[in-house]
Structure 1
Amino acid sequence: MPRKYLLLLSVALGVIVLDQWTKYLVVRELTTRFDDRPTLGERLSAMYGDPPPPGYDGLHFRSKRHIEISPSFFRLRYAENPGAAWGMFRSLPPHIRGPLFHVVSLGAVVFITWYFSKLSGKDPKERWALWGLPLVLGGALGNYIDRLARAFVIDFLEAHWYDKAAWPSFNVADSAIVVGVGLLLVDAFVRKEETPAENKSARLGS
């Protein structure tokens, strides 16, 4: 197997495992979902099986506490997002929202895999894309697992400014996607800047 595909698999799988593990810890520590389920098998079944109907707070898994990391800026709080990133499209009817996210998620996986296959894996200028694409792929699949399992994504990272302004809750998969997209933007900028210089050198050498 070419080395670049080992990188793709290892980074993407690493993101997926870290994402699902942190979500498991959040459900265990911040909700009551596992309170009457002592074994790992029972907990995984409760986490990935059909969720109970939402309660009075709108959550399928009832929250029992949150953790203040920095009271003025950051906390861990269980949240559920049936929509896309930052809650977009969450107001769409489920029979429209579900198929839409399936198509978008699978399309993203196909596009990322195709784009990655076009990289040589040997050119130093491709290093940003070689890391960025696996991060985006792992993040997309991490959240897609949530959608397949229970039709909503578990979020828990909450950044705020003295509770007067807050960034929408996010998770490890979202973070990987943001970092990956940032690397791809750097890749596009670097290769765009280097291409004219290469063309000029080629013309001078001919």
Structure 2
Amino acid sequence: MQLVFIALIFLIDQLTKILAKTKLLYSNGVNIINGVFEFVYVENRGAAFGILKNKKFFLVGVTTFVIGGMLYYLFTNKELNKWYRASLILIVAGAIGNLYDRVFRGYVIDFIHVYYKTFFDFPVFNIADISVVIGTFLLALTMLFTKE
């Protein structure tokens, strides 16, 4: 069942990236909430916030190693509670989504832009990023508030 959830999140991520590329590549973006939220096409050739730009082989190697370790931990520890399991599934699925982009496209497609006029401008992100962030937050909470 874990692989089904990983595959589902991966597919949603990839479908939204394909849709973003198809609809946004040659546009100025789609404004959803004026001055706050828009969809815009960005090719990210680095990691989070664009760091390690053009370090594809390093990013692919580290990501592959981390995914492998997390999958091993996920499938060999049958006693994990549902919160640990869910957090690892979210992190792995998001990591696989962005890894796929790096390997087969040479860049990660980002398209969700949250900002507040000129005061606040968060880097553009995607569904895989959301999955990793939620999974990491859930993992931190689980580690803090459970006995495992």
Please classify the TM superposition score into its range, dividing by the shorter chain length. Answer: over 0.9
**Quick one: which amino acid aligns to residue 76 of structure 1?**
F
1:187 aligns with 2:145: no
Q: Which residue of 1 aligns with 2:73?
A: 115
Q: What is the TM-score of this pair, normalised by structure 1? A: 0.68
Percent identity between the two aligned chains? 28
The superposition leaves residues 42-71 of structure 1 with CA deviations (integer Å, 9 ceiling, x where unpaired) of xxxxxxxxxxxxxxxxxxxxx323111111
Partner Cα separation in structure 1 for residue 106 and residue 22 of structure 2: 19
Q: Which residue of 1 aligns with 2:15?
A: 21
Q: SS where residue 69 of structure 1 aligns?
A: strand
Q: Which has the higher Rg, Structure 1 or Structure 2? A: 1
The superposition leaves residues 102-146 of structure 1 with CA deviations (integer Å, 9 ceiling, x where unpaired) of 21111111111122134324x6xx121110101111100100111
1:161 aligns with 2:113: no
**Quick one: which amino acid aligns to residue 79 of structure 1?**
V
Partner Cα separation in structure 2 for residue 143 and residue 24 of structure 1: 13
Q: CA deviation at 1:187?
A: 1.5
Q: Is the 8 Å Cα contact of residues 67 and 77 (structure 1) preserved in structure 2?
A: yes
1:146 aligns with 2:101: yes
Which structure shows the higher strand fraction? 2
Q: CA deviation at 1:163?
A: 3.1
Q: Which residue of 1 aligns with 2:4?
A: 10
Larger RCO (CA within 8 A; separation ≥ 6):
2
Unaligned runs of 5+ in 2: none
**Quick one: which amino acid aligns to residue 106 of structure 2?**
A
Partner Cα separation in structure 1 for residue 143 and residue 34 of structure 2: 38
Q: Is the 8 Å Cα contact of residues 128 and 186 (structure 1) preserved in structure 2?
A: no
Q: Is the 8 Å Cα contact of residues 116 and 133 (structure 1) preserved in structure 2?
A: yes
Partner Cα separation in structure 2 for residue 150 and residue 21 of structure 1: 14
The alignment yields a C-alpha RMSD, in angstroms, of 1.4
Q: Which residue of 2 aligns with 1:71?
A: 34
Q: Which residue of 1 aligns with 2:60?
A: 102
Partner Cα separation in structure 2 for residue 157 and residue 146 of structure 1: 16
Partner Cα separation in structure 2 for residue 102 and residue 129 of structure 1: 25
Instruction: Give the aligned length.
Output: 148
1:171 aligns with 2:126: yes
Q: What is the TM-score of this pair, normalised by structure 2? A: 0.93
Partner Cα separation in structure 2 for residue 161 and residue 105 of structure 1: 32
Q: SS where residue 118 of structure 2 aligns?
A: coil
Partner Cα separation in structure 2 for residue 163 and residue 14 of structure 1: 36
